Amino acid sequence: MTTNVALAISGITKAFGTNLVLRGVDLDLHAGQVTVLMGANGAGKSTLVKIIGGVHAPDGGEMRLGGAPFRPADPAGAIRAGVVTVHQSINDGVIPDLDVATNLVLDRLPGTGEPHLFKPGRARTIAAEVAERMGLALDLRAMVRDLSLADRQMVAIARAMAREPQVMILDEPTSSLSDAEARRLFALVDRLRDRGVAILYISHRTSDIRRIADRIIALRDGAISGRFETEPLDYEAAVTAMLGHGLTEAGIEARPAGAEVLRADGLRLTPAGRPFSLSLHRGEVVALTGLIGTGKTALAETLVGLRSPVAGRLSLAGRPYRPRSIREAIAAGVFLSAKDRANNAIIPAFSIFQNISLPFLARYGRFGFLTGGPERKMARDQIDRLGIVCQGERDPILTLSGGNQQKSVVARWLSQPCRLLILDEPFQGVDIRARRDIGAKLRETAGDRATLVLCAELDEALEVADRILVMADHTLVGAHVNTDIDLDQVLSQIATHAEAASDARPSR
Amino acid sequence: MSVDAQTDAAARTEVLIRFGIRYGFLILLVGLLIFFHFSARGFTSPQSAAFIFQSVAITAILALGVTATLVVGGFDLSIGAVATTTLMASAYVMVVWDQPALVAVLFCLGIGLLVGFVNGVLVVHMRVPDLLATLGMMFLLIGLQRIPTEGRSISRGMTLPDGTTAPGSFSEGFLALGRHRFDFFVDNLIPASVVVMIVLGIVMYVFLEFTRHGRMMYAIGSNPRAAELAGVPVRTYKIVAYMISGVFASIGGILLAARLGRGDIASGNNLLLDSVAAALIGFAVLGAARPNAFGTAVGALFVGILLQGLTMMNAPYYTQDFVKGAVLVVALVFTFALSHRAGR
């Protein structure tokens, strides 16, 4: 290993409220080396990136940049010191309504000592130098909004390079690129490596990681759970370290399934995806696991009418089922508790009971008038059943902790009987206790319906499910009954099929 | 000990701030009433009260309508133009087409519904930002209302563009909408427009606070994506909100026509700004920090009371807009700065 450490991170801790997100992370980034960081949702990846990038200050631990203490007060401070971040959302890195040249020199505009008059000619001269250095073959006068996503990403990275950083963080840079575009990006990353930049690269894509990783670091529950630094890099072991297992033997007693509730035949979610079949039964909790971006949410959205499948047939309780909107799905008794509660579930202006009752208001009054009594009683029942910590059902939802907000969201969909309940990442951003409460309640109430839980973390799936399905590249690649489950097989299905999947991706 | 004392003091300040945010505006309103009672003779008489209500009635009706669009997170700049368009249209229907009052009223309500529907479709389906869509509609209507009469006001016996004389006139029944006064303790006290305002205010309040439709509209305004995923028909309710706004504005226009008794091309210039101000002042009432029907009504009354009191104290008419603006700014500070500091 090279010994030239660009950024040394030691003992970094960070908590948000009572939620300990990072529990002492030690990590060295070496100059001229690509370090890949892997971690599931909520492992603390983005918090770590934000601390390095100066967005958050750590609670404990220290960082040293080139040997000197590095304590950025804000993102601008981190950039001045030589640490730049290229964010996952490409449009955060470029300004679409300006041309390429202006984008490349943008960071000089606020600088003191720069002339006040903007000269396009001079800007293009500087931009041409930057582009030349980065091997960027683009028309500098082209508007960024007219470029492809890949080209925009290149401009964002080149723009970051114009600051001559020592450390560059690339946060899932290929998440919206095709394979051919990704290859161009890798060529650019090679160039950065040759220039001696220490690169922290965040990604789950096997093809990315095999192509450019010099080493892999796995992050899990706020701590480093595996380091893989010797050739050949063991990708499967890294996935295992990232997802983890064996910590919690939840003691699930897999129950016999009842009548079939939902059936899918020859379902294809994307034009390139292989068709698959799915059968969900009454009384059964099924977990669907797989890496991020493998089609779990696409399947959930298909089942509630938010998107239509490319091919295949659905039937619900023996009858053809083809919902055209989420309203039709709810009317048919198929409920979806969406992931990312802040954006997709919580009504911030509402109280707890108003949040819970929202989809079913027609059932709590006469002639459209809400009388309040039955609605609030239902909410109080749900609060008791799920153990939502609050003073009363009229508390504003935003006064609750994250875990209790999530419980309220789950309570919303448990408050009325249904045929099929789908929960997309119901344990996202909640502490272990809320997670156990929610899981237990899902199992306890599962008798009269089919339940499908989507979770990327294998531990969560093991805790809640009778049956575990594995998804990769928008198709099902494995099914396991959750008793004496062969975890190695599950993990290898998650990992190896993901590899086959990303290799099989069509290039544009 | 001292730490306890400090937290005690902090808690007391906290309670005080909460109280201020919640009741501050109503206390200010009562304070104003008391002040004017002592400093302006005759301010607290029934006639004066009726006058205040009458002066804000049409503004308040428009403001109640725009509240519906604010609730779903939209905005409607076309309400003033809808009101003046229906003012002209009602006159045109009765004077030029020689139709009865009922036809005029139905025609105007139709205009309000149609304009609201078009606004809603522009915002929801064509994805034009609400301010721009309704601004465009405002211009369109201001221009449209001038075309049939070649830019002139409409009154009985006017000469039409083709040289003939207009056959019709405002019917008695229609004029009664603007001029009839109901007995209320004192004979001939309350104008019909005030009764309409109070009824619409109650209807809007009940609709927004106590029906599931109102609840869903507030959900849309707070987080449209989450509302959609909970099965709320977001697009439909948004269009309905603009239609409510349009129809309320057309009712305001009808009452204005009935009060004036002619299709006056220059009337209603201030309606948009006054009614939007009333709705925004309403955010501050009872610390709601959101659009609400009760607040909107109180906001309109607040402005009316202030102007009436100042006028009776001989403040010149040209200071009125300044006073309204000052009230609005203070109300917005109440709503946004203070309630955010209280952590909500």
What digits encode the pLDDT tens for the residues B209-236? 999 999 999 999 999 999 999 999 999 9
What angle (nearest 5°) sits at the alpha carbon of residue A215, between those of residues A209 and A221?
85
Disruptive mutation site among A347, A371, A394, A424 for chain B (greatest number of B CBs within 10 Å): A347
Output the CA–CA distances (angstroms, integers) from residue B133 to A381, B33, B76, B143, B240, in the order listed: 45, 40, 9, 16, 16
Please give the class, per CATH, of domain A279-504: alpha beta
Residue B231 domain-assigned (yes or no)? yes
* Average pLDDT of span B7-29: 81
CB-closest option in B213, B219, B231 to A326: B231
Q: In chain B, what residues touch A349 (CB-CB under 8 Å)?
A: 218, 221-222, 290
Residue B43 lies in a domain: no
Give the structural domain span for B274: 58-341
B213 in contact with A at a CB cutoff of 8 Å?
yes
Is pLDDT at B344 greater than 60 in this prediction?
Answer: no
Domain assignment present for B208:
yes
If you average pLDDT over residues B107-125, what whole number do you get? 97
> Does B99 reside within a domain?
yes
| Other residues' Cβ atoms within 10 Å of the Cβ of residue B233 | 16
B221 inside 8 A of chain A by CB: yes
Instruction: Indicate yes or no: CB of A326 within 8 angstroms of CB of B229.
Output: yes
Are A347 and B212 in contact (CB < 8 Å)?
Answer: no
Amino acid A504: pLDDT = 35
Q: Measured on CA atoms in the order A297, A303, A305, A309, is the torsion positive or negative?
A: positive
Whole-complex ipTM: 0.86
Residue in A344, A364, A396 closest to B225 by CB: A344
Q: Least CB-CB distance to A348: which of B210, B222, B231?
A: B222
Of A469, A496, A448, A457, nearest in space to A300 by CA: A469
Query: Is B128 within a domain?
Result: yes
Q: Which residue has the higher pLDDT, B87 or A232?
A: B87
Q: Which residues of A touch B227 (CB under 8 A)?
A: 347, 358
Tell me which of 3.40.50.300, 3.40.630.30, 2.40.420.20, 3.40.640.10 is the CATH number of domain A5-243: 3.40.50.300
Q: pTM for the complete prediction? A: 0.80
Helices (H), B40-129: 46-71, 79-91, 101-124
b/e map A188-223, b = 16+ CB within 10 Å: bbebbbeeebbbbbbbbbbbbbebbbbbbbbbbbbe
Distance from CA of B209 to the nearest CA of A (A): 9
Number of domains in chain B: 1
DSSP string for residues in B213-272? HHHHHHHHHH-HHHHHHTT--HHHHHHHHHHHHHHHHHHHHHHHHHHHSSB-TTTTTTHH
Q: What is the mean pLDDT of each run of 10 residues along chain A (508 residues)?
A: 76 80 89 87 81 89 89 86 81 81 78 69 82 80 84 83 84 73 83 89 78 88 85 77 60 74 92 90 92 86 93 92 94 93 92 95 86 90 91 89 89 95 88 82 91 87 90 87 80 65 35
Torsion, Cα A74 A76 A80 A81, to 10 degrees, reads 30
In a domain, B1, yes or no: no
Question: For residue B283, is it within any domain?
Answer: yes
Which one, of A126, A358, A470, A113, lies nearest residue B217 by Cα? A358
Strand residues in A153-275 grouped as ranges (E): 167-171, 198-202, 215-220, 223-228, 260-268
B69–chain A nearest CA distance, Å: 16
State the average pLDDT for chain B: 89
Q: Assess B223–A contact: CB distance below 8 Å, yes or no.
A: yes
Domain residue ranges of chain A, discontinuous segments joined by +: 5-243, 279-504
**Most trustworthy range by pLDDT among A352-361, B169-178, B322-331:** A352-361
Closest CA–CA distance from residue B218 to any residue of chain A (Å) = 8
CB contact under 8 A, A330 and B232: no
To the nearest whole Å, the CA of A85 is away from the closest chain B CA by: 29
| B217 in contact with A, Cβ within 8 Å | no
The answer, for B236 touching chain A at a CB cutoff of 8 Å, is no
Q: Of the ranges A438-447, B149-158, B160-169, which is most confident?
A: A438-447
For A346, which of B213, B226, B228 is closest by C-beta distance?
B226
**For the domain that residue B156 is a member of, what is the CATH number?**
1.10.3470
Query: Nearest CA to CA, how far is A342 from chain B (Å)?
Result: 9
Q: In angstroms, rounded to a whole number, what is the distance separating the alpha carbons of residues A299 and A328?
A: 17
Establish if B4 belongs to a structural domain. no
Residue numbers in B near A344 (CB within 8 A):
225-226, 229
What percentage of chain B has pLDDT greater than the value 90? 54
